[in-house]
């Protein structure tokens, strides 16, 4: 994933390894089924291909092991060899395009949001709309995954993995500030932080993962805009950043937390997700406002965190829905057997022949990702894996309420979006650090979006 970075010689993969397996959690290789109902899709009767190939990120530790085990289970059940082509992370897009152009066998492929639009346009992907068992799966899908899978009237794959944004409170600082409960609104968060600063509890009570990056700095703003009922673009992908817009007002408020009220640590502008988590683990801050759910299994793990057991997840302010990213596994147009490729995709993103959500349960339990199906919430292994780190009932509600990022940023799938995101990173950083106004930042982001859209 894009957020992979090293902090104090500790990488994201090292953190995942530390939280990968809870005592008593069943590994995928054990094939232990929970409330497994056989899939509704009929057995595949098409001729078996000698081999199927999946292209994905990595190799990347536990994350890759889940995929490898799922493919091994598919091979055991079907008798068909299933291989993985690993494309790394940074170079994955270019490698897939090279494999496709070179007629390398590719049957199914990992799809990130910013790949989907161009891959559909170029014919690299084919829809899975109408494939056997899809309607059965749809009835159990988490809404944000469906939002990531469905585009232009077609379904383009099944869930691979995802995460949703969360908010954290350090209970020790709250107690020192004599604050009884986390904030329910952004204005209440401001009041809490001003009180903690005024009382000498913390120089900067509030921390953000606001270092530049595609899912980092912009998403801190996007999430705030979303909870206030706004979007960044309209349905025609025109920027919704003009005077009086929720997005502009939100950016002005956020800027003031740094420049006027002095509650947000300016160091936030240097910190992506893992560095922000590590900074929060020092115990110097009261709130960390927007950070992915997976890191709860690090910050509240006594083996990894000095403040473990004292960090409380709280609901998104304003009763807002947490934003999520949701990767999918799509079908490549050059596959020689759509029927068996669909069967393979189900072992990662749907049901195996035994009726288990094989890959999805393992990603959630072993790695900490957000599973694609609502019924997995009630899996005792899922509860066991998460309860040591979070109020699981709140976790369930926030997960179920999550909304895919494209609902807030409809331009996500446009070919020019990645370029615009680079521009937004610069403008947002300059804004929160007080170098430019929120009006100037929004004007420039809107102008550049319109120019990119016109030239696409």
Q: What is the DSSP letter of 269?
A: G
pLDDT value of residue 6: 29
pTM recorded for the entire structure: 0.90
CA–CA distance, 52 with 39 (Å, rounded to integer): 21
Q: How far is CA 176 from CA 168, 196, 203, 263, 286, in A?
A: 16, 8, 13, 16, 10
pLDDT value of residue 159: 98
Q: Which domains does the chain have, with CATH numbers?
A: 6-163+324-404 (3.40.190.10), 165-323+411-455 (3.40.190.10)
Mean model confidence pLDDT for the chain: 92
Q: Comparing 114-118, 130-134, 216-220, 371-375, which segment has the lowest mean pLDDT?
A: 114-118
Is 277 within 8 Å of 299 (Cβ atoms)? yes
> What pLDDT digit, counting tens, does each position of 47-89 carry?
999 999 999 999 989 999 999 999 999 999 999 999 999 999 9
C-alpha neighbours within 13 Å on the C-beta side of residue 412: 22
C-alpha neighbours within 13 Å on the C-beta side of residue 147: 20
> What pLDDT digit, counting tens, does each position of 317-368 carry?
999 999 999 999 999 999 999 999 999 999 999 999 999 999 999 999 999 9
- For residue 14, name the pLDDT band (cuts at 50, 70, 90): very low
Residue ranges of E strands in 238-368: 287-292, 311-314, 323-332
Average pLDDT over residues 374-392: 94
pLDDT value of residue 456: 86
CA–CA distance, 58 with 90 (Å, rounded to integer): 10
- For residue 35, name the pLDDT band (cuts at 50, 70, 90): low
CA–CA distance, 287 with 307 (Å, rounded to integer): 13
Q: Comparing 12-26, 88-102, 228-242, 419-433, which segment has the lowest mean pLDDT?
A: 12-26
Average pLDDT over residues 233-256: 97
Average pLDDT over residues 12-28: 41
**Does residue 9 have a pLDDT over 80?**
no
Is 342 within 8 Å of 132 (Cβ atoms)? yes
Lookup result for tokens 């927007």:
290
C-alpha neighbours within 13 Å on the C-beta side of residue 103: 1
> What pLDDT digit, counting tens, does each position of 154-190 carry?
999 999 999 999 999 999 999 999 999 999 999 999 9
pLDDT value of residue 36: 67
Is 322 within 8 Å of 402 (Cβ atoms)? yes
Average pLDDT over residues 236-244: 97
pLDDT value of residue 114: 87
Q: Comparing 21-25, 195-199, 400-404, which segment has the lowest mean pLDDT?
A: 21-25
Lookup result for tokens 């161009």:
118
Average pLDDT over residues 260-288: 98
C-alpha neighbours within 13 Å on the C-beta side of residue 309: 3
What share of the chain has pLDDT > 70, as a percent?
92
**Does residue 20 have a pLDDT over 60?**
no
């Amino acid at each position: 994933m894009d957020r992979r970075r090293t902090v104090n010689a500790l990488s994201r993969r090292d953190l995942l390894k530390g939280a990968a397996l809870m005592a008593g959690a069943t590994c995928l290789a054990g094939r232990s089924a929970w409330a497994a109902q056989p899939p509704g899709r009929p057995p595949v009767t098409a001729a078996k291909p000698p081999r199927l190939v999946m292209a994905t990120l990595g190799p990347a530790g536990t994350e890759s092991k889940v995929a490898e085990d799922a493919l091994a289970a598919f091979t055991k059940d079907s008798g068909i060899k299933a291989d993985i082509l690993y494309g790394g992370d940074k170079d994955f897009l270019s490698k897939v395009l090279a494999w496709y152009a070179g007629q390398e066998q590719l049957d199914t492929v990992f799809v990130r949001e910013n790949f989907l639009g161009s891959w559909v346009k170029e014919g690299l992907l084919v829809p899975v709309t109408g494939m056997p068992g899809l309607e059965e799966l749809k009835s159990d899908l988490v809404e944000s995954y469906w939002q990531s899978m469905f585009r232009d009237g077609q379904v383009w794959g099944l869930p691979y993995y995802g995460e949703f944004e969360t908010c954290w409170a350090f209970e020790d600082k709250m107690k020192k500030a004599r604050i009884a409960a986390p904030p329910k609104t952004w204005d209440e968060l401001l009041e809490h932080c001003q009180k903690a600063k005024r009382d000498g509890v913390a120089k900067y009570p509030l921390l953000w993962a606001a270092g530049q990056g595609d899912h980092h700095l912009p998403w801190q703003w996007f999430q705030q805009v979303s909870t206030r009922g706004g979007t960044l673009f309209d349905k025609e992908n025109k920027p919704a950043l003009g005077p009086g817009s929720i997005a502009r007002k939100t950016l002005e408020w956020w800027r003031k937390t740094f420049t006027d009220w002095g509650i947000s640590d300016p160091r936030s502008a240097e910190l992506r997700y893992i560095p922000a988590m590590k900074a929060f683990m020092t115990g110097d801050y009261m709130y960390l406002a927007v950070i992915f759910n997976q890191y709860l299994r690090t910050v509240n793990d006594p083996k990894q965190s000095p403040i473990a057991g004292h960090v409380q997840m709280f609901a998104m302010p304003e009763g807002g829905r947490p934003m999520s990213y949701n990767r999918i596994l799509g079908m490549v147009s050059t596959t020689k057997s759509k029927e068996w490729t669909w069967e393979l995709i189900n072992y990662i993103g749907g049901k195996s022949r035994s009726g288990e959500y094989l890959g999805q349960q393992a990603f959630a339990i072993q790695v900490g990702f957000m599973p694609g199906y609502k019924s997995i919430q009630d899996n005792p292994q899922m509860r066991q894996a998460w309860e040591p780190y979070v109020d699981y009932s709140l976790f369930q509600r926030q997960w179920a309420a999550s909304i895919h990022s494209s609902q807030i940023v409809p331009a996500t799938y446009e070919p020019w979006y990645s370029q615009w995101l680079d521009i937004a990173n610069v403008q947002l950083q300059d804004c929160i650090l007080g170098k430019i106004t929120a009006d100037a930042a929004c004007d420039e982001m809107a102008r550049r979006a319109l120019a990119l859209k016109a030239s696409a």
